[in-house]
Structure 1
Amino acid sequence: MAETAASMSASRPDSRGQPRKSLGGIWLEFLGSMNLAITLLVVVSIASVIGTVLPQNETFNTYLIQFGPFWFEVFRVLNLYDVYSASWFLFILGFLILSTGICVSRHIPSVWREITRYRTRVREQSLLALRQHRHWDSAHSTGELQDVAEAAFQAHGYRTRTEARGDIVVVAGMKGAATRIGYVLTHVAVVVIAIGALVDGNLYLKFQEFTGNLQIETRDLRVSQVPAESWVAAESGAFRGNVTIPEGASSEVSFLQMRDGYLVQELPFTIEVEQFRIDYFPNGAPRSYESDLVIHDPTLDEPIRETIGVNYPLTHRGHTIYQASFTDGGSSLYLTGHLLDGSGEVMELDARVFETYDLQLGGLERELRIDGFELLNINRDTRSVERTGGSSEFINSGPSYTFTLRDEAGQAREYRNYMAPVEIEDRWYFLHGMRMGAEEPFRYLHIPADHNYSMDTFLAFHDALHRPEAVAGASRRAADGLLGQMGVPGSDLGDRVAGTAHGMIDTLLTQGFGGVSAELDERAAGASRPGMIREFSEAVLQRTLYEVYRDVLADQRGVMPASIQTDSEQRAFFEEAMNAVSAAAEYGAPLIFQLNHFEHRQATGLQITRAPGKSIVYTGSALLTLGVFLLFYVSQRRVWALVKPGQTGGGELLMGGANQRRPEQFEEEFEQLADAVDQHLNPADDPAREN
């Protein structure tokens, strides 16, 4: 390097004569090595990427569903569900602080020397070896040459220092030393940012949990029932929590998700939600949503009223409140439950979302929990523009609600029902979905809507199939009709056929068409003409079902069944009703709920954070920005002027300069310096340029 050539050389002692380093010195050198610091930074960067890509602080059940048992356990052991508070991550941050701190302390003396030393003991041969140098033989005295060189340096922003060695005078100039400070600032910034990260790393919670003063709660309890050892005092450290507040309600706590449970974080103020508003895109996706909040703080004379939205948070007393989500706030649902045991009984239930009810259904007991309510269900339907003449291809299927039914054995099934019938391929159905667990999609029971867009006709048909007298009369008429078409007389045979139909209907109600098919296969096995037996049995079953359906229509109209003539619409309804009866056998619930009306109440989901280390991180980021700027945009430059008496009188001036970065730019600057010296010397002087 050019600068090295301009430096005073020193003889290197024989390494064999150096004393051996102590173990402490070796460790100190290792901890302060640049390789170790870079390795730790890479590990921290990788961990940060994982923490960004992998959603943090979700429930364990969410991760189990998403990744499966094997990878869930692997990620849990590595504590990847809370990377920034993981013990190994905090240990690496502490080690990074130690390593970088030692590295900075070791290099500060050399950086200080680079900033403060002018290297005035430069030799003539070193200056001549520089790429940028110029030599003058002048009639001016050495004192005048010294003043000219020093004035030129200072005019170009150089700080100068002069040293005399006998007849030789050296003027050394330096500027841009701040680039060395940039090196220190970037390393100090890493230490400061890591300290800020440690401050926000939940060290207080970890210590409290380690000492047994804090216990993670895993039960689903009301806030008032959570034990004291699961509460975190207000303003006791950094946290990131969530709370859901319905409209018109308030809260003075936040919930911290911790592994398979939670903690209750006290707040030094109360948050009240006056109103929640949401706007949707045509496809049903939320366009924007916001909450009108009132902050009640005992330290304030008046409450704070503020509207927050996505990316528009509210900060108060070091706590930042973000608009994170929304959900139902406990809407009131007025339900009618229709029992499917053929009794025709109904039960009225005034329910609220998130509430649990014990149901007595004849001899059965069920636990009902209302899980949620959706006001809008937007689905794509490309035919809607053509059919309705509208401008949107999205349609709203109306409100829906979800609930869970748990039987005496504790087995639960989740259900989702739509309030209004939904059009599917030009037919209208009431959709009743069921699934065994959250990892499964809903399988829907399609109950056909009658001409009044209600479930009354289907429910009457389903109830009639449970009444023995109704099935007996219908099956007898069906048997007589089929035997008459075949020209087979005999009442005894008709009774046997009717009895067969009655048994198949019982199987249909409990096992669906799949069970009926299996029963027919068993009955036809070993027969000489199994195909004919199966075909005849199916005809008997369908004719019996049809006769039951005619009885229902006759009862609705108040006429005799024989006078009922069905049209194509009614026959299509009959086909759909048979399929729905079969599917109801697998529905898994002893009743079907119908939503009559509701009172919608929304709730806002807030994320509340407190990060006392945030200002420390911001300070470190500012130092890092400044340090990088100094490193890349400030270049250290050194110039020297060596003045000595001339051989024939007057004096000689040798000027040289060095710059490790941007040599082209420095070459132009050096030429300006040389030209400035030329202008101050007499025209008679003979400059001799050696470039």
Structure 2
Amino acid sequence: MKHFFTSVKTTVFLLLILAVLMVLGTLIPQGMPEFEYLKRYPSILAKAILLLGIYDIYRCWWFVGALFLLAVNISVCFVYRIWKVSLKKGSRPLGLYMVHLGLIGIVLGGLLTALFGFRGYIELEEGSGTDVLRAGKAKFRLPFEVYCERFEVEFWPNGTPKDFVSYLTLKSGQKTLLERAKVRVNHPLTFEGFTFYQSSYGKSQKVKFQIHHKGETLDVSLSKGEIFSLGEGLSLGVMKLVGNPDEVPQGAYVVLFGKGPPKGLWVIREGQMEVEGMKLYFKGGELRYWTGLQVSRDPGAKVVFAGGVLTLIGLLSLYLFPKSKDKGDGQS
């Protein structure tokens, strides 16, 4: 076992495993909701990604396990090297110690991120907010709420997106922590250890209704598949939309769910209808942009950076001052 942990072959093997896992983490988007993988990849591949935890590669047990073994391997090598050198009166390669300590720092930083960091994904329509992130099958709760105040898209003449920007406001209860901060492609926002990346965007079709029910007036905006509860066992759901997917919907097929069988009707024209004693006003459709944000927390980043700097200094010192030898009187 001692030879296993002091072997350079073990180090190389573990580094290769980590390199392969990091490549997978780069090629496969991290922290997306489960349905996104099922939509983007063939069924077998999507299920493998979810089953093996590749959707959150830096937190899966095999990545953390490989990092832990590498930390043990480098630490044992470091102690063993100090012990061997201490038996000699000759060289004292300080740079070698720095390299080993730097590598240990890099690995420990990676473990910190793997154990206490995360990467998730949120989708926000203009004017909406949330404090919940999704990462594959997992969910994380932020210590504050994220609101999308505004979303802008610029296009090239050929119709391809040139730039898209989210204006975010962060709140904790009634307190505003950050107001209308910009997040655009390649220009992330960092706040209290959390980093927000502009990842994607899309359009959301909705139909608007004004509902008069038992003396109350409600204004609701619903998308396809969304169901709104009216209380007392009544719900209104939008099952289909009329119109092209990229345009404002011209109507909808709505269903009223109650104690009896569901009642469905097509709503095409703006105006008033009465269903089950409820007055329903169709007020037309709308098309809203939504923004897709990737959110990450990396508590080990500074430790990895410090370890990298220490490793670089150690390597430079080994190159510039390769060895110091004892003189005849035993002094170097």
TM-score (norm 2): 0.70
Which residue number in structure 2 is paired with residue 238 of structure 1?
117
Structure 1 equivalent of residue 288 of structure 2: 601
Give the distance between the partners of 2:66 and 2:153, measured in 1 at CA: 43
| Superposed CA offset, 1:204-227 (max 9, x none) | xxxxxxxxxxxxxxxxxxxxxxxx
Picking from 98, 107, 111, the partner of 1:194 is 107
- What are structure 2's unaligned runs of at least 5 residues? 210-219, 229-236, 256-264, 271-282
* Cα distance change of structure 1 residues 631 and 594 upon mapping to structure 2, 3 Å threshold: farther
Distance 1:97 1:306 in 2: 39
Indicate the residue corresponding to 1:226 in structure 2. Answer: none
- Note closer, same or farther for the CA distance 1:403–1:36 as it changes in structure 2 (3 Å cut): farther
Residue in structure 1 matched with residue 279 of structure 2 by the alignment: none
Alignment of 1:206-221 (within 5 A): none
1:626 aligns with 2:313: yes
Question: How far off its partner does 1:190 sit?
Answer: 2.4
Aligned equivalent of 1:182? 95
CA shift digits 1:368-415 (9 cap, x unpaired): 15599865xxxxxxxxxxxxxxxxxxxxxxx376999899xxxxxxxx
Q: Aligned equivalents of 2:25 and 2:242: distance in 1?
A: 30
Partner of 1:636: 323
Distance 1:89 1:404, change over 3 A: farther
Distance 2:189 2:102 in 1: 28
Q: Is the 8 A contact 1:331 1:373 kept in 2?
A: no
Aligned counterpart for 2:197 among listed residues 307, 322, 341 = 322
Map 1:58-69 to 2 at 5 A.
Answer: 58-64=32-38, 66-69=40-43
Q: Which residue of 2 aligns with 1:415?
A: none
Which residue does the alignment assign to 1:93? 67
Q: Deviations over 1:462-510 (max 9, x none)?
A: xxxxxxxxxxxxxxxxxxxxxxxxxxxxxxxxxxxxxxxxxxxxxxxxx
Whether the aligned pair in 2 keeps the contact of 1:269 and 1:296 (CA below 8 Å) is yes
Cα distance in 1 for residues equivalent to 2:244 and 2:297: 32
Query: What RMSD over aligned residues (CA atoms) do the two structures have, in Å?
Result: 4.1
Equivalent in the alignment of 1:278: 153
Q: CA deviation at 1:64?
A: 4.5
Counterpart of 1:368?
239
- SS of the residue corresponding to residue 200 of structure 1 reads helix
Q: Are the structure 2 counterparts of residues 594 and 100 from structure 1 closer, same or farther at C-alpha, using a change threshold of 3 Å?
A: farther
Q: CA–CA distance in 1 between the matches of 2:145 and 2:206?
A: 23
The structure with more radius of gyration: 1
Structure 2 residue matching 1:35: 3-state secondary structure: helix
The C-alpha deviation readout for 1:606-637, integer Å capped at 9, x for no partner, is: 22222212222222222222223223344335
- Taking structure 1 as reference, are residues 614 and 246 closer, same or farther at Cα in structure 2, changes over 3 Å only? same
Look up the SS of the partner of 1:607 in the other structure. Answer: strand
One of 2, 25, 30 as aligned partner of 2:4: 30
Distance 2:60 2:238 in 1: 39
Distance 1:105 1:48 in 2: 28
> In 1, are the aligned partners of 2:170 and 2:176 still within 8 Å (CA)?
no
Deviation of residue 603 (structure 1)? 2.6
Aligned mates of 1:616, 1:372 — CA distance in 2: 53
Which residue of 1 is the match for residue 278 of structure 2? none
Counterpart of 2:54 in structure 1 is 80
The code of the aligned residue for 1:614 comes to A
Q: SS state of the match for residue 601, structure 1?
A: strand
Is 1:102 aligned with 2:76? yes
Q: Measure, in 2, the Cα distance between the counterparts of 1:189 and 1:372.
A: 60
Q: Determine if contact 2:251/2:266 at 8 Å carries over to the other structure.
A: no
When you count helix as a share of all residues, which structure comes out higher? 1
Match of 1:353 in 2: 223
Of all paired residues, the percent bearing the same amino acid is 24
2:135 is matched with 257
**1:154-169 counterparts in 2 under 5 A?**
none
Structure 2 distance, partners of 1:608, 1:316, is 11
Q: Distance in 2 between matches of 1:372 and 1:268?
A: 40
| Counterpart contact for 1:196–1:614, Cα < 8 Å | yes
Contact 1:254 1:266 in 2 (8 A): yes
The one-letter amino acid of 2:158's match is N
Contact 2:252 2:268 in 1 (8 A): no
How many angstroms does 1:107 deviate by? 0.1
| Aligned pairs, number | 290
How far, CA to CA, are the matches of 1:249 and 1:63 in structure 2? 24
Q: TM-score, normalised by structure 1?
A: 0.36
Structure 2 letter corresponding to 1:238: G
* Secondary structure of the structure 1 residue equivalent to 2:11: helix
Q: Say if 2:19 is the partner of 1:45.
A: yes
1:187-241 CA distance string (max 9 Å, x none)? 222222222222222x4xxxxxxxxxxxxxxxxxxxxxxxxxxxxxxxxx42212
SS of residue paired to 1:600: strand
Which of 129, 135, 142 aligns to 1:267? It is 142
Residue aligning to 1:480? none
315-324 vs 38-47, greater mean Cα deviation: 315-324
Query: Which ranges of structure 1 fall in alignment gaps of 5 or more residues?
Result: 1-26, 120-176, 204-236, 335-349, 359-365, 376-398, 408-589, 643-691
Which residue does 1:568 correspond to in 2? none
Larger relative strand fraction? 2
Match of 2:273 in 1: none
1:365-404 matches, within 5 Å, as 368-369=239-240, 399=247
